[in-house]
A and B are shown apart, each in its own frame.
Chain A
Amino acid sequence: MSETIITIEELTKIYDDKPAVDRLSLSINKGEVFGLLGPNGAGKSTTIFMLLGLIEPTSGSLQVCGINSTNNPIEVKKLVGYLPDDLGFYQNMSGLENLIYTASLNSIPRKEAETRARRLLEQVGLENAMDKKVGKYSRGMKQRLGLADVLIKEPEIIILDEPTLGIDPKGVQELLKLIKKLNKENNITVLLSSHHLHQVQQICDRVGIFVDGQLLAQGNVEDLAHQLFGEQSYVISVEVKPLHEGLLHELQNIFGVKSIKRVNDSSIDIYCNKEITPEISETIVEQHASLYSINNKSYGLDEIYHLYFEGREIDETTTIP
């Protein structure tokens, strides 16, 4: 039902013999919010710059709205709004003037530009500050002005590079709500990059995990857990004394348990493919052992985050001895 609006195929960019983006293939559908997640230096910005035709890829191809952005960046930039992470405005011009300047760079007639700018400033909640010099804006205000700036050309796609960077939690919530609203009401495709999984998960239809130039997994959050951890989507950590072989054997026999990993003398991690905490506690009690704690660690975003964003390898944490 959904048509593809951004197609990336085997995209590679090599800087000084080191790949910044390594054979990236990705497609984004019209009208979705796609989150490109990854730690700093993963190649997110490089990918975005290539989408805008500001950097030439070493190999591979890119299509944005059916236009090749390497050969025809101007046409792509007419359809795509881009909010950079280190967003800057002309300090000595007011918010309104900055927007009108951007509009005139997009060949929008002055009168039309002004009405659009006023409407957008109202939409992002800056109607009281539109005549103030941007030099006096706060970081959050600048970010919202940036969003208005992106929207003034009425783009089909907006690309936001770290939109939540440096804004307080309340500001983040408002900004994300605004992005979601734009996506819903104007049917704008949104591609956003972030290293804040928690903030972004609430508005993204799909996310892609991007580490060291490679896309490791993509899909919605449940899909991701599934892709990354296979069937073992649940981990139950148990602290029990005494921990004898018989008990371990019994636990292993519970339906749904895949494997057990001993953490230390008294605690174990039980990997299973469904929620079986009650069965586990029951078994322990039947075996006359004392249960000190039982804790369900379902593999959610936290685990995904720690797994990738702290630079650990997938194999190290999931192999069970």
Chain B
Amino acid sequence: MRQLPFLKKKEELEEQVRSNNGVFSVIVRKEFTDFIKSWRIIILLVIIALTCLGSLYTAFTTIKDAISQSEDATGIAKDSYLFLKLFTTSDGTLPPFITFVSFLGPLLGIALGFDAINSERNKGTLTRLMAQPVPRDYVINAKFVAALLVSTILFFSLGLLVMSLGILLIGIPPTLEEFLRVLCFLVLCIAYIAFWLNLGILFSVRFKQAATSALSSIAVWIFFSLFYNMIIDFIGKSYVNPESISSTEEMINKQETILNLLRLSPNYLFSESTSTLLSPSVRTLGPLTMEQTVGAIAGPLPFGQSLLLIWPRLTGLIAATLICFAVSYVLFMRQEIRTN
């Protein structure tokens, strides 16, 4: 029987796709092994694990004190999302879990990404890699996937570990809603880390020296975590001047503008989203007038509503991540492979 030509073509294509997938997973596996073997990442992982356990401990002692004060505390605990407090409270000696994550997450992302391309280039392995039958974008994609895999595994195991320890220590199992909230929080963390990871990769494509790209990534991180808020505060003080504002509407508008400016910072987006997810009592992220709050019954927001509230932030974060990745992808594809 004669085989139709297009059928054969399709089979060949499938064959090619299969072998390419194999090659892709080979690179991912190698990058992943490199990450978990490198001292840089091991040290960061240990620091993150230790601080998280430390903050868990302080949260636990605070909660335990609160529970032991009243008899029907267990009942109250269920209503007030006590389990989530594991992640957000502290007795003041150590910052809570979410603060640690928002601080160390970017550092992990940067550490995973800052020398992705330029170290290969400087060691001369990029030319050798490119001389193999591997599409060029596999290199950058595989590095991204491997780094994302490292942070996903780390954060999910850490989050689940904290949950299980919480159950053991407090003795109150989380409700389904609490569990889902924590899972969403972990996904959010990964999106946040992915942003910094991609920023690192972008700088690693752009800058020839690993030190330059590390320093610029850290500079961006420090800018957003320290100076950006200060600058916006400064602008806000003169912009939202109570003396020049005549109506409530104007006041709200100006306040909104300032908030939107703040939201350009990925750090702010992340902290807004985490507090919404882990503190269900947060009902809105914008300004509220007294009129709006009068008559409102203080109560937790349902999970779906919380999710709805953070949805734009999450998509914004992912969009920023994708933009960084797209820019580095295009830069890398157009770059000369040769080193000199």
Contact = CB atoms under 8 A, between A and B. Distances in A.
Interface string A63-99: 0000000000011011011101011111110000000
B339 A77 contact: no
Contacts of B128: 82, 84, 87-89, 102, 146, 149
Given A75-B133, A77-B132, A105 B125 contact: no
A167 to B, nearest CB: 16
Contact of A88 (B19, B125, B132, B337): B125
B296 interface: no
Given A54-B130, A75-B133, A77-B133, A107 B19 contact: yes
Given A45-B338, A54-B337, A106 B132 contact: yes
Contacts of A90: 34, 123, 125
Nearest to A109: B22
Dominant secondary structure of chain B at its interface with chain A: helix
Given A77-B132, A105-B23, A49 B338 contact: yes
Contact of B337 (A49, A101, A102): A49
Contacts of B124: 84, 86-88
B27, B128, B134 interface centre (most CB from chain A within 10 Å): B128
Contacts of B26: 101, 104-105
Interface string A220-243: 000000000000000000000000
A105 B133 contact: yes
Contacts, number: 74
A75 B133 CA distance: 7
A49 B131 CA distance: 9
Contacts of B64: none
B131 A74 contact: no
B125 A89 contact: yes
Given A88-B124, A88-B125, A105 B339 contact: no
A52 interface: yes
Nearest to A77: B133
Contacts of A182: none
Interface string B1-27: 000000000000000000100110011
Interface residues of A, number: 29
Contacts of A107: 19, 22-23, 133
A52 B37 CA distance: 33
A92 B37 contact: yes
A55 interface: yes
Interface in B34-56: 34, 37
B315 interface: no
Nearest to B131: A82
B62 to A, nearest CB: 44
A55 B336 contact: yes
Contact of A106 (B30, B34, B133, B336): B133
B135 A74 contact: yes
A149 B123 CA distance: 16
Nearest to A75: B133
22 contacts: A49-B338, A52-B131, A54-B338, A74-B134, A80-B131, A82-B128, A84-B128, A86-B127, A86-B339, A86-B340, A89-B125, A90-B123, A92-B37, A101-B26, A101-B30, A104-B26, A105-B26, A105-B132, A105-B133, A105-B134, A106-B132, A149-B128
Interface of B: 19, 22-23, 26-27, 30, 34, 37, 123-125, 127-135, 336-340
A-B complex: 9 closest residue pairs judged by Cβ atoms: A88-B124, A82-B131, A88-B123, A84-B127, A105-B132, A77-B133, A86-B124, A78-B133, A88-B125
